């Protein structure tokens, strides 16, 4: 039993790293967070124009009512009164038009399934997936195989296949396992939430609280190497060439990056990290002078086959009020793409030329002079791809290097990635670290 104050490093100030630091600090440890960028929040971070009161996430974000780990943490921090759950409208595309698809009644009215047996099958499948907890059986097969068998080709091809292709591309849509699909249906609600001021305000407040608890957050501190230290513990080297020693370290980056940062990890663990695949995301944020969706729709799901050069169009200010953004109307134009897709190399103006002309299909009055400003955000690590029997491929949080831990989006399986699960895995990792240091 060792009751000494421990000095612990956390690599990454995303929601996972901040959550782990919270529990480690509560346990009385000295915690140092290394963050490569100039802000906290990671993939959930946001930005703000001078005339906006609220921040906008770089990549569209919201919470579900079922996000118990995130909402539980916010409750513990005493900020539940700053979480709001508006009820925006999500729509699905069918033959050139969009139809609401965010309640059982709306799904029943959606014309894409026709009437009769297909609607019943669709309803029964949804009910079964909500009720069953046996995801282990479902991970043995793909969404494609399971859906064709139980929902039928028509229901699958009209409803779910376009979503699978949109999210994973033609390359992976047929090989993603059914537990991933189960998790999405099982853990999501139609009510969507956010923090007053946006996710960045939450992340900044959380970081401030951590600093009050004694956590040191070092921004623009890029970790370049992680090694087992000679006399126990972990040594961390940053881009400025400084090496420091910690009793334990938690890494919250992508698996590929951990493999590069800690090449001394045993080959089997490294191979496991490198075998994991993920999709990237490209998101353009657009501020407009006018509201785009005349119907006030928030989220447009668009099948790739409909010929749009993007997967989703999200009018953020149909979720939270444009008044928070000085009257600007905020749009996201987004897509999940393979990491070698051309969109990762095109310039912002080249992508504007591809995307913006299509806005007229959502509102015939749209004209280019509606656009006030655009921002482009890209990440190659956006959406892990879970293949059949994926549970056997999840890297352990306790890595084979004693004192080195790993908690990322790729390990929250069977759940799909999300800030809720970043909180869960960050706190789970912290509890293992606390347990190990006390053993």
Ligand X SMILES: Cc1cc2nc3c(=O)[nH]c(=O)nc-3n(C[C@H](O)[C@H](O)[C@H](O)COP(=O)(O)OP(=O)(O)OC[C@H]3O[C@@H](n4cnc5c(N)ncnc54)[C@H](O)[C@@H]3O)c2cc1C
| Residues in contact with ligand X by the rule CB under 6 A | 11-17, 34-37, 42-44, 59-63, 222-223, 252-253, 257, 281, 283, 379, 382, 408-409, 417-420, 422
Query: Which is closer to ligand X, CB of 109 or CB of 239?
Result: 239
Min dist. Cβ of residue 166 to ligand X (A): 12
Query: Which is closer to ligand X, CB of 17 or CB of 169?
Result: 17
Min dist. Cβ of residue 117 to ligand X (A): 34
- For residue 99, CA distances in Å to 13, 295, 364, 431 come to 39, 11, 18, 45
Type and span of the H or E element at 234: strand 234-238
Query: Which is closer to ligand X, CB of 125 or CB of 412?
Result: 412
Min dist. Cβ of residue 1 to ligand X (A): 31
Question: Edge-to-edge, what's the strand order for the sheet holding 223-228?
Answer: 223-228, 234-238, 243-246
Residues 6+ apart with CB under 8 A from 430: 19, 20, 21, 22, 23, 24, 27, 250
Q: How far apart are CA 94 and CA 200, in angstroms?
A: 35
Type and span of the H or E element at 334: strand 329-337
Bridge partners (DSSP) of residue 300 are 91, 313
Query: Which is closer to ligand X, CB of 34 or CB of 135?
Result: 34
Query: Which is closer to ligand X, CB of 156 or CB of 199?
Result: 199
Query: Which is closer to ligand X, CB of 35 or CB of 139?
Result: 35
**DSSP string covering 47-86, please?**
E--TT-SS-EESS---EETT-HHHHHHHHHHT-GGGEE--
Residue corresponding to tokens 């895995």: 425
């Amino acid at each position: 039993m060792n009751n000494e104050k421990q000095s612990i490093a956390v690599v990454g100030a995303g929601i996972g790293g901040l959550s782990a630091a919270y529990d480690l600090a509560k346990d009385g440890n000295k915690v140092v967070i290394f963050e490569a960028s100039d802000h906290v929040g990671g993939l959930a971070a946001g930005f703000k124009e001078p005339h906006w009161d609220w921040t906008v996430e770089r990549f569209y974000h919201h919470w579900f009512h079922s996000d118990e780990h995130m909402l539980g943490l916010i409750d513990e921090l005493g900020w539940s009164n700053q979480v709001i759950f508006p009820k925006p409208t999500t729509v699905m595309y069918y033959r050139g038009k969009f139809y609401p698809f965010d309640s059982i009644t709306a799904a029943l009215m959606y014309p894409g399934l026709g009437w009769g047996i297909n609607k019943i099958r669709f309803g029964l499948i949804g009910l079964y997936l909500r009720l069953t907890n046996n995801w282990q059986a479902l991970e043995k097969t793909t969404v494609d195989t399971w859906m064709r068998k139980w929902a039928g080709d028509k229901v699958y091809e009209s409803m779910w296949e376009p979503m699978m292709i949109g999210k994973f591309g033609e390359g992976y849509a047929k090989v993603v396992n059914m537990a991933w699909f189960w998790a999405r249906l099982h853990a999501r609600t139609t009510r969507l939430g956010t923090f007053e001021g946006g996710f960045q305000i939450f992340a900044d407040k959380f970081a401030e609280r951590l600093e009050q608890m004694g956590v040191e957050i070092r921004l623009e501190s890029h970790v370049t190497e992680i090694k087992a230290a000679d006399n126990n513990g972990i040594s961390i080297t940053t881009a400025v060439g400084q090496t420091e020693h910690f009793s334990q370290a938690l890494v919250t980056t992508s698996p590929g990056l951990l493999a590069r940062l800690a090449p001394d990890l045993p080959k089997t663990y490294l191979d496991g990290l490198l075998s994991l695949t993920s999709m990237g995301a490209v998101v353009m944020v657009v501020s407009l002078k006018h509201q785009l969706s005349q119907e006030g729709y928030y989220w447009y799901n668009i099948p790739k086959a409909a010929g749009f050069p993007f997967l989703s169009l999200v009018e953020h200010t149909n979720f939270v009020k444009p008044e928070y953004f000085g009257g600007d109307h905020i749009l996201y134009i987004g897509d999940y793409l393979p990491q070698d897709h051309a969109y990762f190399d095109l310039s912002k103006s080249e992508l504007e030329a591809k995307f913006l002309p299509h806005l007229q299909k959502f509102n015939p009055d749209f004209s280019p002079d509606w656009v006030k400003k655009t921002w482009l955000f890209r990440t190659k690590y956006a959406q892990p791809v879970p293949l059949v029997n994926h549970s056997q491929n999840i890297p352990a949080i306790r890595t084979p290097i004693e004192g080195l831990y790993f908690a990322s989006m790729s390990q929250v399986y069977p759940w799909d990635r999300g800030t809720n699960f970043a909180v869960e895995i960050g706190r789970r990792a912290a509890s293992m670290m606390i347990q190990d240091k006390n053993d």
